[in-house]
């Protein structure tokens, strides 16, 4: 019988960080349950191969949304990592902490102890960033972060175009000033994807007090309102991994609420409909689902300097060989090397639009969008008002859950997205792009009116793969809270949730960074340690925010 002080479900962004920190002093035993297999191999470890693992059944749970009513009934892919390292092993490797005000908002919404001053010390603890802003970045943490090489002139053209359009530039958007155009940061180290499997899990597994159990988590075993273990299926047998102290669910914004509901914790009527005995009626479980949507605004390049020339088999083979033998060359980057965070309007206090710039016109699944040289900006609003939900399809743990994002259900989403498209056109029209700018590939010059833009959005908006919020953290007195400020599931003992599902509201940018931070901070709460001392550093807020968007 496998048994440990702490049993963690999921070896992903938060789960691996938890395993590392909970076992660090050698006093506690930790078991990590992971259904996925090894991450060894070029599809995961080579940064430029990022479009492959999230489309491979071997590495991805294969979730998709229900038909989305406001997107013409489209079904959208919802990849989640099914491999050690979880989604940090299949993501785009863009590293963003989120804006300071995001975390202040969490605290205002009842997540006591999670304001920016509280979380900044954990971001510093987890990072090693060589050329970040002094005093704002970590220098000796497990997670290596770097800026991309930016050798392609289109990257500097994008940043310069933003400056010419009147926007800020920022040397480090994860430092004091997020707002502006600048280099994107990557979780890449020595030419390899620096997932939490590489940063946290492998070092933790070298300790005698940590073990990895390969199995499918069916439910948390509850006895007298207390979590005592995890029922897993492994090698065709059902067994229980026992937890002497606590069970921690770190299984993603999709699987964490699913596991809670399968364990009898969730909206009582829904659980009863599915034939599940109610342990704790928590109506918020599975609700509050949020994500970022984005569009690709694509432009033809007049100069043959884009990655289009590298999409043929021979070039891919050469890039792969150089990466395999030397860990150098184009294989070592995700090619998201420039980006921006900007505000959509005067009166918006901090950025609510994000850009990723890519020197090729291509889809996320790696299929070329244009038969020729092009470049694109991924753009989307950061704080959609739309909310969705995760529900059980049945009481069978193997059934995939029902995922309804309810994308674009709020009228403001449409005006926000139209603004994103028009703003991107303005940026691409600046002098910095004049030597490179050909015709607009997408949406295309013919798409101009609100109705035409709305039709383009409806047909082409894609998930940025940032689901969160489904086990919301908040005050224990709030009926819709699922966990309290120490990540404890409200209404039961010995059970916590620590991953992106606990976010009260989605943060600004990519979610891998804040998800790891949750694992880091939750570990201190679980061990009963005094949290790291709050920071007194003041983030930069644009002094002109009331008057202008730039």
Residue 384 structure tokens: 């959609």
**25 a known binding residue?**
yes
Q: Does the annotation place 483 within a ligand binding site? A: no
Q: Which residues contact 369 (CB under 8 A, 6 or more apart)?
A: 296, 298, 361, 362, 363, 376, 441, 442
Is 21 a known ligand-binding residue? yes
Dist CA 9 CA 251 (whole Å): 6
H, E, C per residue of 483-511? ECCCCEECCCECEEECCHHHCCCCCCCCC
Query: Is 23 known to sit in a ligand binding site?
Result: yes
- CA dist 143 and 125 (Å) reads 9
Catalytic residue among 144, 373, 378, 466: 466
Residue 35 in marked binding region = no
Does 27 count as an annotated binding residue?
A: yes
* Residue 419 counted as an annotated binding residue: no
- DSSP per residue, 168-202: -B-S-TTTT---EEEE-EE-EETTEE--HIIIIIH
Alpha helices in 360-511 (DSSP H): 411-428, 450-460
Was 85 annotated as part of a binding site?
A: no
d(CA 346, CA 354): 17
Please report, for residues 21, 44, 153, 465, the alpha-carbon distance to residue 197 in angstroms, rounded to integers and kept in the order given. 14, 11, 33, 19
439 touches 445 (CB < 8 A)? yes
Query: Residue 17 annotated as binding?
Result: yes
13 is in an annotated binding site: yes
99 is catalytic: no
Is 230 within any annotated ligand binding site?
Answer: no
Task: Determine whether the annotation assigns residue 494 to a binding site.
Answer: no
Q: What is the DSSP string of 107-156?
A: HHTT-TT-SHHHHHHHHHHHEEETTS-TTTS-BSSSEEEEE----SHHHH
Cα separation, 308 vs 46, in Å, equals 19
246 in a known ligand binding site:
no
Q: Is residue 22 annotated as involved in ligand binding?
A: yes
7 is in an annotated binding site: yes
Any known ligand binding at 16? yes
- The answer to the question of whether 339 is labelled as a binding residue is no
Q: Is 14 annotated as a binding residue?
A: yes
Q: Which of 391, 219, 375, 239 is nearest to 297 (CA)?
A: 375
Catalytically active residues are 466
| Annotated binding-site ranges | 5-34
| Annotated binding-site ranges for FAD | 5-34
């Amino acid at each position: 019988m496998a048994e440990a002080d702490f049993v963690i479900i999921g070896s992903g962004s938060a789960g691996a960080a938890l395993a590392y920190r909970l076992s660090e002093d050698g006093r506690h035993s930790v078991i990590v349950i992971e259904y996925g297999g090894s991450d060894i191999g070029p599809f995961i470890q080579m940064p430029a191969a990022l479009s492959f693992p999230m489309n491979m059944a071997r590495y991805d749970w294969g979730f998709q949304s229900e038909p989305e009513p406001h997107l013409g009934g489209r079904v959208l892919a919802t990849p989640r990592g099914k491999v050690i390292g979880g989604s940090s092993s299949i993501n785009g490797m863009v590293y963003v902490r989120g804006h300071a005000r995001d975390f202040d908002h969490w605290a205002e919404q009842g997540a006591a102890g999670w304001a920016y001053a509280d979380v900044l010390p954990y971001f510093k603890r987890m990072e090693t960033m060589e050329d970040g802003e002094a005093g704002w970045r970590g220098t000796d943490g497990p997670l290596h972060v770097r800026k991309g090489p930016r050798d392609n002139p289109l990257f500097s053209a994008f940043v310069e175009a933003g400056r010419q359009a009147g926007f800020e530039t920022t040397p480090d958007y994860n430092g004091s000033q997020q707002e502006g155009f600048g280099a994107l940061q990557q979780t890449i180290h020595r030419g390899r994807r620096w997932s939490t499997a590489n940063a946290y899990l492998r070092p933790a597994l070298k300790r005698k007090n940590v073990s990895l159990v390969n199995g499918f988590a069916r439910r948390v075993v509850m006895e007298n309102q207390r979590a005592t273990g995890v029922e897993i299926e492994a090698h065709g047998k059902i067994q229980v991994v026992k937890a002497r102290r606590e069970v921690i669910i770190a299984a993603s914004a999709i699987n964490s609420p699913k596991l809670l509901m399968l364990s009898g914790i969730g909206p009582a009527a829904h659980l009863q409909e599915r034939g599940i005995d109610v342990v704790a009626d928590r109506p918020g479980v599975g609700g509050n689902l949020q994500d970022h949507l984005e569009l690709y605004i694509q432009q033809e390049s007049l100069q043959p300097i884009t990655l289009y020339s590298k999409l043929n088999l021979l070039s891919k083979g050469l890039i792969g060989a150089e990466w395999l033998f030397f860990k150098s060359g184009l294989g070592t980057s995700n090619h998201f090397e420039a980006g921006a965070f900007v505000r959509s309007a005067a009166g918006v206090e901090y950025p609510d639009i994000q850009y990723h710039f890519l020197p090729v016109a291509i889809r996320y699944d790696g299929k070329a969008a244009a038969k020729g040289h092009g470049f694109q900006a991924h753009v989307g609003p950061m704080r959609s008002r739309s909310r969705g939900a995760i529900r059980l399809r049945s009481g069978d743990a193997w059934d995939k859950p029902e995922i309804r994002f309810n994308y674009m259900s709020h009228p403001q989403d449409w005006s926000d997205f139209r603004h994103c498209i028009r703003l991107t056109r303005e940026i691409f029209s600046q002098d910095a792009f004049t030597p490179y700018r050909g015709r607009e590939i997408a949406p295309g010059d013919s798409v101009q009116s609100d109705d035409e833009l709305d039709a383009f959005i409806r047909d082409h908006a894609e998930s940025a793969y940032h689901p969160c919020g489904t086990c919301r953290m908040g005050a224990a007195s709030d009926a819709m809270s699922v966990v309290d400020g120490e990540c404890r599931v409200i209404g039961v003992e010995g059970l916590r949730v620590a991953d992106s599902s606990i976010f009260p509201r989605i943060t600004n940018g990519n979610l891998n960074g804040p998800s790891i931070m949750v694992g880091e901070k939750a570990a201190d709460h679980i061990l009963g340690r005094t949290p790291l001392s709050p920071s007194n550093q003041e983030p930069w807020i644009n002094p002109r925010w009331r008057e202008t968007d730039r």
